[in-house]
């Protein structure tokens, strides 16, 4: 009887303890909070102008001497051309040689004389093609002395002649000399070519073709 009463008391205590335990929340998806959507915030940037950096550069332009300027302004001639003595129509084949300082021409029967107290010279030009001879009288500009190896000292008269090659006409000093042993009766030197013409050594008789 006593054991039965103890069992009843234990059962009542257990039940009372269960009722005293705190209630656990039920599992499941928790209720989402109703939050407002995020607002887009635009950050205002200050108006900044770009900084331009400039650097001064000194430009140097080199001016070349006239003899080195563009050949476009010069007449192109071949290594051999026809040279006319103006105002006459006498024409002679000439060798173009930039290595020679002065132009020279094959002159025969050179005779100096005096006219009005000045030195003059009379000479003949011989046309090898037509076998004609042309006599010319000119004032003497100067006399040059030439000494070549194995030869005696020679004096050459220098006169002014108007020479034309293609569209070029120039009055230049010409040395009178016997060129009968040379292939061409006229040698055109630098005093005619300088700042006026350039030579194409691969060509002949092209002066009349250039503009």
Q: What is the pLDDT of residue 78?
A: 96
Q: What is the pLDDT of residue 84?
A: 95
Q: What is the pLDDT of residue 156?
A: 95
Q: What is the pLDDT of residue 201?
A: 94
Q: What is the pLDDT of residue 45?
A: 62
* Domains of the chain in sequence order: 66-209 (2.40.70.10)
| pLDDT tens over the chain, length 211 residues | 545 555 545 555 545 554 555 555 545 455 555 666 666 656 666 666 666 666 665 555 445 455 455 556 789 999 999 999 988 889 999 999 999 999 999 999 999 999 999 999 999 999 998 999 999 999 999 999 887 777 778 899 999 999 999 999 999 999 999 999 999 999 999 999 999 999 999 999 999 765 4
Q: What pTM was estimated for this model as a whole? A: 0.64
Q: What is the pLDDT of residue 80?
A: 97
Q: What is the pLDDT of residue 1?
A: 53
For the chain, the DSSP string reads -HHHHHHHHHHHHHHHHHHHSPPPPPPSPPPPP-PPPPPP-PPPPP--PPPP---------PPPPGGGS-GGGSEEEEEEEEEEEETTTEEEEEEE-TT-SSEEEEEEEEEEEEETTEEEEEEEEE-TTT--EEEEEEE--EEEEE--TTS--EEEEEEEEEEEETTEEEEEEEEEE--TTSSSSEEE-HHHHTTTEEEEEEEES-GGG--
Q: What is the pLDDT of residue 153?
A: 83
Q: What is the pLDDT of residue 144?
A: 93
Q: What is the pLDDT of residue 3?
A: 52
């Amino acid at each position: 009887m006593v054991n039965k009463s103890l069992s009843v008391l234990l059962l009542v205590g257990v039940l009372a303890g269960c009722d005293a335990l705190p209630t656990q929340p039920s599992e499941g998806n928790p209720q989402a909070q109703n939050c407002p959507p995020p607002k887009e915030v635009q950050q205002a940037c200050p108006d900044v102008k770009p900084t331009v950096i400039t650097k001064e550069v000194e430009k140097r332009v080199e001016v070349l001497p006239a003899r080195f300027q563009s050949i476009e302004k010069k007449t192109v001639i071949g290594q051999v051309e026809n040279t006319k003595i103006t105002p006459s129509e006498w024409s002679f084949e000439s060798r173009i040689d930039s290595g020679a300082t002065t132009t020279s021409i094959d002159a025969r029967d050179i005779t100096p004389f005096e006219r009005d107290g000045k030195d003059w010279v009379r000479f003949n030009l011989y046309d090898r093609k037509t076998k004609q001879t042309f006599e010319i009288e000119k004032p003497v500009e100067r006399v040059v002395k030439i000494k070549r190896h194995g030869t005696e000292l020679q004096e050459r008269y220098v006169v002014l002649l108007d020479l034309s090659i293609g569209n070029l006409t120039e009055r230049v000093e010409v040395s009178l000399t016997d060129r009968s042993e040379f292939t061409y009766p006229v040698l055109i030197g630098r005093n005619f070519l300088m700042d006026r013409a350039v030579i194409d050594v691969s060509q002949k008789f092209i002066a009349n073709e250039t503009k």
